[in-house]
Copies of this chain bind each other. A is one copy, B any other.
Amino acid sequence: MVVDGIKVVDATLRDGGLVNDFYFDDNFVKALYDANIAAGVDYMELGYRADKKQFDPKDFGKWKFTSDEDVWNIIGKKNPNMKLSVMADVGRCDFRNDIGPRKDSPIDIFRVATYIETIPEAIEMINYISSQGYETTCNIMAISKCTDEQIAHALYVLAESPALAVYIVDSYGALYPKQARKLARLYHQILAPAGKEVGMHAHNNQQCAFANTIEAKDMGAKWLDGTAYGMGRGAGNCHLEGLLGYLNGKKYHVDPILQLIEEWMLPMRESGIEWGYNTSYLLTGLTNQHPRTAIAATKKKDHQFTEQFKFLSYQ
Protein backbone atom coordinates (compact mmCIF):
# COMPACT_ATOMS: atom_id res chain seq x y z
CA MET A 1 0.00 0.00 0.00
CA VAL A 2 1.60 3.24 -1.14
CA VAL A 3 0.89 6.03 1.33
CA ASP A 4 3.43 8.58 0.13
CA GLY A 5 2.15 12.06 0.67
CA ILE A 6 -1.11 10.91 2.24
CA LYS A 7 -2.39 12.98 5.13
CA VAL A 8 -4.92 11.21 7.32
CA VAL A 9 -7.03 13.75 9.17
CA ASP A 10 -9.01 12.74 12.24
CA ALA A 11 -12.11 14.94 12.48
CA THR A 12 -13.80 13.11 15.38
CA LEU A 13 -14.11 16.09 17.69
CA ARG A 14 -15.09 18.55 15.01
CA ASP A 15 -17.64 16.56 13.03
CA GLY A 16 -18.54 14.28 15.93
CA GLY A 17 -19.19 17.42 17.94
CA LEU A 18 -22.34 17.96 15.85
CA VAL A 19 -23.78 14.89 17.60
CA ASN A 20 -23.20 16.01 21.19
CA ASP A 21 -22.91 19.80 20.85
CA PHE A 22 -19.15 19.51 21.37
CA TYR A 23 -19.37 18.25 24.93
CA PHE A 24 -16.49 15.79 25.15
CA ASP A 25 -14.84 14.54 28.32
CA ASP A 26 -11.29 15.94 28.57
CA ASN A 27 -10.03 12.43 29.24
CA PHE A 28 -11.58 11.29 25.98
CA VAL A 29 -9.96 14.15 24.08
CA LYS A 30 -6.57 13.24 25.54
CA ALA A 31 -7.11 9.55 24.78
CA LEU A 32 -8.06 10.39 21.18
CA TYR A 33 -5.03 12.66 20.87
CA ASP A 34 -2.68 9.94 22.11
CA ALA A 35 -4.35 7.29 19.95
CA ASN A 36 -4.04 9.45 16.85
CA ILE A 37 -0.34 10.01 17.42
CA ALA A 38 0.24 6.31 17.97
CA ALA A 39 -1.79 5.49 14.86
CA GLY A 40 0.31 7.76 12.66
CA VAL A 41 -2.55 10.18 12.00
CA ASP A 42 -1.12 13.28 10.35
CA TYR A 43 -3.63 15.90 11.48
CA MET A 44 -6.13 15.95 14.33
CA GLU A 45 -8.96 18.45 14.06
CA LEU A 46 -10.04 19.59 17.51
CA GLY A 47 -13.13 21.58 16.69
CA TYR A 48 -14.46 24.79 15.22
CA ARG A 49 -13.40 28.26 16.08
CA ALA A 50 -16.88 29.73 16.13
CA ASP A 51 -17.63 33.35 16.87
CA LYS A 52 -18.82 33.72 20.48
CA LYS A 53 -20.85 36.74 19.45
CA GLN A 54 -22.91 34.44 17.22
CA PHE A 55 -22.91 31.27 19.33
CA ASP A 56 -23.48 31.38 23.06
CA PRO A 57 -20.74 29.43 24.87
CA LYS A 58 -23.39 28.36 27.39
CA ASP A 59 -25.04 26.30 24.65
CA PHE A 60 -21.97 24.34 23.52
CA GLY A 61 -18.94 22.45 24.72
CA LYS A 62 -15.58 24.14 24.33
CA TRP A 63 -14.66 22.45 21.04
CA LYS A 64 -17.20 24.63 19.26
CA PHE A 65 -14.71 27.44 19.94
CA THR A 66 -11.40 25.58 20.40
CA SER A 67 -9.35 28.23 22.14
CA ASP A 68 -5.59 27.87 22.12
CA GLU A 69 -5.73 27.63 25.90
CA ASP A 70 -8.12 24.68 25.84
CA VAL A 71 -5.84 22.91 23.40
CA TRP A 72 -2.73 23.55 25.50
CA ASN A 73 -4.58 22.19 28.52
CA ILE A 74 -5.07 18.88 26.74
CA ILE A 75 -1.74 18.45 25.00
CA GLY A 76 0.72 20.09 27.42
CA LYS A 77 3.30 20.70 24.73
CA LYS A 78 3.50 20.23 20.98
CA ASN A 79 4.25 16.80 19.63
CA PRO A 80 6.12 17.12 16.33
CA ASN A 81 4.58 13.92 14.98
CA MET A 82 1.05 15.23 14.51
CA LYS A 83 -0.28 18.58 13.42
CA LEU A 84 -3.39 20.12 14.95
CA SER A 85 -6.27 21.54 13.00
CA VAL A 86 -9.22 23.81 13.67
CA MET A 87 -12.09 24.47 11.31
CA ALA A 88 -13.23 28.01 10.59
CA ASP A 89 -16.56 28.48 8.82
CA VAL A 90 -17.08 31.40 6.47
CA GLY A 91 -19.47 33.80 8.16
CA ARG A 92 -19.26 32.08 11.53
CA CYS A 93 -15.72 32.93 12.59
CA ASP A 94 -14.45 36.35 13.60
CA PHE A 95 -11.07 35.43 12.20
CA ARG A 96 -9.44 38.85 12.43
CA ASN A 97 -10.04 38.94 16.17
CA ASP A 98 -10.06 35.27 17.08
CA ILE A 99 -7.07 33.92 15.15
CA GLY A 100 -3.72 35.20 16.41
CA PRO A 101 -0.20 34.44 15.20
CA ARG A 102 0.77 30.79 14.78
CA LYS A 103 3.94 31.22 16.82
CA ASP A 104 1.87 31.58 20.01
CA SER A 105 -0.59 28.81 19.14
CA PRO A 106 -0.70 25.02 19.36
CA ILE A 107 -2.67 25.03 16.11
CA ASP A 108 -0.91 24.31 12.80
CA ILE A 109 -3.67 24.56 10.28
CA PHE A 110 -7.06 26.17 9.82
CA ARG A 111 -9.41 24.47 7.42
CA VAL A 112 -11.76 27.06 5.98
CA ALA A 113 -15.21 25.66 5.26
CA THR A 114 -17.32 27.40 2.68
CA TYR A 115 -20.16 26.95 0.26
CA ILE A 116 -19.23 27.55 -3.33
CA GLU A 117 -21.07 30.87 -3.37
CA THR A 118 -18.81 32.31 -0.67
CA ILE A 119 -15.44 31.36 -2.12
CA PRO A 120 -14.39 35.03 -2.23
CA GLU A 121 -14.95 35.34 1.53
CA ALA A 122 -13.14 32.04 2.03
CA ILE A 123 -10.14 33.35 0.12
CA GLU A 124 -10.12 36.48 2.25
CA MET A 125 -9.99 34.25 5.33
CA ILE A 126 -7.35 31.97 3.82
CA ASN A 127 -5.18 34.97 2.96
CA TYR A 128 -5.51 36.42 6.44
CA ILE A 129 -4.95 33.15 8.29
CA SER A 130 -1.97 32.28 6.09
CA SER A 131 -0.49 35.70 6.84
CA GLN A 132 -0.64 34.70 10.50
CA GLY A 133 1.65 31.79 9.67
CA TYR A 134 -0.80 28.89 9.57
CA GLU A 135 -1.32 26.23 6.96
CA THR A 136 -4.77 26.41 5.37
CA THR A 137 -7.11 24.33 3.26
CA CYS A 138 -10.36 25.28 1.60
CA ASN A 139 -13.20 22.83 2.21
CA ILE A 140 -15.98 23.31 -0.32
CA MET A 141 -19.17 22.02 1.26
CA ALA A 142 -22.23 20.57 -0.44
CA ILE A 143 -20.13 19.80 -3.49
CA SER A 144 -22.84 17.48 -4.84
CA LYS A 145 -24.97 20.56 -5.53
CA CYS A 146 -22.34 22.29 -7.66
CA THR A 147 -21.94 22.14 -11.40
CA ASP A 148 -18.62 21.14 -12.92
CA GLU A 149 -18.30 24.68 -14.25
CA GLN A 150 -18.78 26.23 -10.81
CA ILE A 151 -16.27 23.83 -9.34
CA ALA A 152 -13.66 24.39 -12.04
CA HIS A 153 -14.00 28.14 -11.66
CA ALA A 154 -13.57 27.89 -7.88
CA LEU A 155 -10.55 25.63 -8.24
CA TYR A 156 -8.79 27.96 -10.67
CA VAL A 157 -9.27 30.80 -8.19
CA LEU A 158 -8.15 28.69 -5.23
CA ALA A 159 -5.09 27.52 -7.16
CA GLU A 160 -3.85 31.10 -6.82
CA SER A 161 -4.46 31.18 -3.05
CA PRO A 162 -2.11 30.11 -0.26
CA ALA A 163 -4.32 27.08 0.58
CA LEU A 164 -2.35 23.84 0.55
CA ALA A 165 -5.33 21.76 -0.52
CA VAL A 166 -8.93 22.00 -1.59
CA TYR A 167 -11.43 19.51 -0.28
CA ILE A 168 -14.31 17.67 -1.86
CA VAL A 169 -16.84 17.87 0.98
CA ASP A 170 -19.79 15.58 0.41
CA SER A 171 -21.92 17.28 3.06
CA TYR A 172 -25.07 15.57 1.92
CA GLY A 173 -23.62 12.08 1.57
CA ALA A 174 -24.96 12.14 -1.97
CA LEU A 175 -21.93 11.04 -3.97
CA TYR A 176 -21.42 7.59 -5.43
CA PRO A 177 -17.93 6.20 -6.03
CA LYS A 178 -17.86 7.10 -9.69
CA GLN A 179 -18.75 10.69 -8.85
CA ALA A 180 -16.08 10.79 -6.16
CA ARG A 181 -13.55 9.59 -8.71
CA LYS A 182 -14.69 12.12 -11.28
CA LEU A 183 -14.49 15.01 -8.81
CA ALA A 184 -11.09 13.97 -7.50
CA ARG A 185 -9.80 13.79 -11.07
CA LEU A 186 -11.20 17.23 -11.88
CA TYR A 187 -9.73 18.73 -8.70
CA HIS A 188 -6.39 17.07 -9.30
CA GLN A 189 -6.16 18.23 -12.90
CA ILE A 190 -6.64 21.85 -11.92
CA LEU A 191 -4.82 21.93 -8.60
CA ALA A 192 -1.76 19.78 -9.22
CA PRO A 193 -0.11 22.18 -11.72
CA ALA A 194 -0.38 24.88 -9.03
CA GLY A 195 1.24 22.60 -6.45
CA LYS A 196 -2.00 22.17 -4.51
CA GLU A 197 -3.45 18.92 -3.26
CA VAL A 198 -6.91 17.35 -3.14
CA GLY A 199 -8.82 16.40 0.02
CA MET A 200 -11.80 14.11 0.55
CA HIS A 201 -14.35 14.48 3.36
CA ALA A 202 -17.18 11.99 3.02
CA HIS A 203 -20.48 11.29 4.74
CA ASN A 204 -22.07 7.93 5.07
CA ASN A 205 -25.74 8.56 4.28
CA GLN A 206 -25.67 6.05 1.43
CA GLN A 207 -22.88 3.98 2.97
CA CYS A 208 -20.33 5.25 0.51
CA ALA A 209 -18.13 7.32 2.85
CA PHE A 210 -15.22 4.90 3.08
CA ALA A 211 -15.57 3.73 -0.53
CA ASN A 212 -15.63 7.30 -1.81
CA THR A 213 -12.57 8.17 0.27
CA ILE A 214 -10.40 5.37 -1.07
CA GLU A 215 -11.69 5.87 -4.60
CA ALA A 216 -10.80 9.59 -4.42
CA LYS A 217 -7.37 8.56 -3.12
CA ASP A 218 -6.84 6.42 -6.22
CA MET A 219 -7.57 9.51 -8.32
CA GLY A 220 -4.97 11.58 -6.49
CA ALA A 221 -6.64 12.83 -3.29
CA LYS A 222 -3.99 13.10 -0.56
CA TRP A 223 -5.92 14.52 2.39
CA LEU A 224 -8.30 11.88 3.71
CA ASP A 225 -10.71 12.56 6.57
CA GLY A 226 -12.16 10.04 8.98
CA THR A 227 -13.69 9.94 12.44
CA ALA A 228 -13.30 7.30 15.12
CA TYR A 229 -16.09 4.73 14.84
CA GLY A 230 -17.54 6.98 12.12
CA MET A 231 -18.82 9.44 14.72
CA GLY A 232 -20.78 12.21 13.03
CA ARG A 233 -24.26 13.57 12.68
CA GLY A 234 -26.80 11.04 11.45
CA ALA A 235 -25.19 8.38 9.30
CA GLY A 236 -21.76 9.67 10.29
CA ASN A 237 -18.47 9.81 8.47
CA CYS A 238 -15.76 7.67 6.95
CA HIS A 239 -14.64 5.33 9.72
CA LEU A 240 -11.10 6.23 10.72
CA GLU A 241 -10.41 2.64 11.74
CA GLY A 242 -11.52 1.40 8.32
CA LEU A 243 -9.30 3.93 6.60
CA LEU A 244 -6.29 3.22 8.83
CA GLY A 245 -6.88 -0.49 8.42
CA TYR A 246 -6.83 -0.05 4.66
CA LEU A 247 -3.60 1.96 4.88
CA ASN A 248 -2.21 -0.15 7.76
CA GLY A 249 1.46 -0.98 7.58
CA LYS A 250 4.62 1.01 7.75
CA LYS A 251 3.23 4.46 8.44
CA TYR A 252 -0.26 3.90 9.79
CA HIS A 253 -1.44 1.60 12.57
CA VAL A 254 -5.05 0.75 13.28
CA ASP A 255 -4.49 -0.74 16.74
CA PRO A 256 -4.58 2.48 18.77
CA ILE A 257 -7.95 3.38 17.28
CA LEU A 258 -9.29 -0.13 17.91
CA GLN A 259 -8.30 0.33 21.54
CA LEU A 260 -10.02 3.73 21.60
CA ILE A 261 -13.22 2.20 20.23
CA GLU A 262 -13.21 -0.41 22.95
CA GLU A 263 -12.49 2.04 25.76
CA TRP A 264 -14.36 5.13 24.65
CA MET A 265 -16.53 4.86 21.56
CA LEU A 266 -18.61 1.84 22.60
CA PRO A 267 -19.37 3.35 26.05
CA MET A 268 -20.21 6.67 24.37
CA ARG A 269 -22.70 4.92 22.09
CA GLU A 270 -24.13 2.96 24.99
CA SER A 271 -24.62 6.19 26.93
CA GLY A 272 -27.19 7.16 24.30
CA ILE A 273 -25.19 9.36 21.92
CA GLU A 274 -26.50 8.20 18.58
CA TRP A 275 -25.05 8.00 15.10
CA GLY A 276 -24.87 5.44 12.32
CA TYR A 277 -27.04 4.10 9.52
CA ASN A 278 -30.39 5.83 9.53
CA THR A 279 -33.05 5.64 6.85
CA SER A 280 -33.97 9.34 7.11
CA TYR A 281 -30.38 10.29 6.35
CA LEU A 282 -30.25 7.72 3.57
CA LEU A 283 -33.11 9.58 1.95
CA THR A 284 -31.53 13.05 2.21
CA GLY A 285 -28.36 11.58 0.67
CA LEU A 286 -30.33 9.84 -2.06
CA THR A 287 -32.16 13.05 -2.95
CA ASN A 288 -29.02 15.19 -2.61
CA GLN A 289 -30.48 17.42 0.07
CA HIS A 290 -29.25 19.11 3.22
CA PRO A 291 -29.92 16.70 6.11
CA ARG A 292 -32.29 19.11 7.88
CA THR A 293 -35.31 16.88 7.16
CA ALA A 294 -33.44 13.91 8.61
CA ILE A 295 -32.23 15.88 11.62
CA ALA A 296 -35.80 16.89 12.43
CA ALA A 297 -37.23 13.42 11.80
CA THR A 298 -34.57 11.71 13.90
CA LYS A 299 -35.08 14.15 16.74
CA LYS A 300 -38.79 13.45 16.96
CA LYS A 301 -38.38 9.74 16.15
CA ASP A 302 -40.47 10.17 13.02
CA HIS A 303 -40.16 6.94 11.04
CA GLN A 304 -42.58 7.80 8.26
CA PHE A 305 -39.92 7.31 5.64
CA THR A 306 -42.27 7.24 2.67
CA GLU A 307 -43.61 10.68 3.67
CA GLN A 308 -40.08 11.98 4.10
CA PHE A 309 -39.09 10.64 0.70
CA LYS A 310 -42.11 12.24 -0.92
CA PHE A 311 -41.29 15.58 0.69
CA LEU A 312 -37.64 15.37 -0.35
CA SER A 313 -38.46 14.29 -3.88
CA TYR A 314 -40.34 17.53 -4.46
CA GLN A 315 -37.59 19.79 -3.09
Q: Which residues of B contact A241 (CB under 8 A)?
A: 279, 282
| Contact yes or no, B177 A215, CB < 8 A | yes
| Contact yes or no, B305 A262, CB < 8 A | yes
Within 8 A of B (CB), among A265-295: 266, 276-277, 279, 282-283, 286
Stretch from A61-69, A119-127, A200-208 contacting the other chain:
A200-208
Q: How far is the CA of A207 from the CA of B177 in the complex (A)?
A: 13
Stretch from A75-83, A134-142, A252-260 contacting the other chain:
A252-260
Within 8 A of B (CB), among A227-260: 229-230, 239, 241-242, 245-246, 248, 254-255, 258-259
Q: Which residues of B contact A151 (CB under 8 A)?
A: none
Closest to A287 in B: B245
Option from B176, B277, B283, B309 in Cβ contact (under 8 Å) with A214: B176
A261 interface hit (Cβ, 8 Å) = yes
Copies in the complex: 2
Interface centre among A177, A206, A212, A215 (most CB of B within 10 A): A177
| Contact yes or no, A177 B211, CB < 8 A | yes
Q: How far is the CA of A246 from the CA of B283 in the complex (A)?
A: 10
Min distance, Cβ A265 to any Cβ of chain B, angstroms: 9
Option from B206, B258, B286, B306 in Cβ contact (under 8 Å) with A279: B258
| Contact yes or no, B210 A209, CB < 8 A | no
Q: How far is the CA of A229 from the CA of B246 in the complex (A)?
A: 26
Min distance, Cβ A204 to any Cβ of chain B, angstroms: 7
Q: Which residues of A contact B (CB under 8 A)?
A: 176-178, 204, 206-212, 214-215, 218, 229-230, 239, 241-242, 245-246, 248, 254-255, 258-259, 261-262, 266, 276-277, 279, 282-283, 286, 303-306, 309
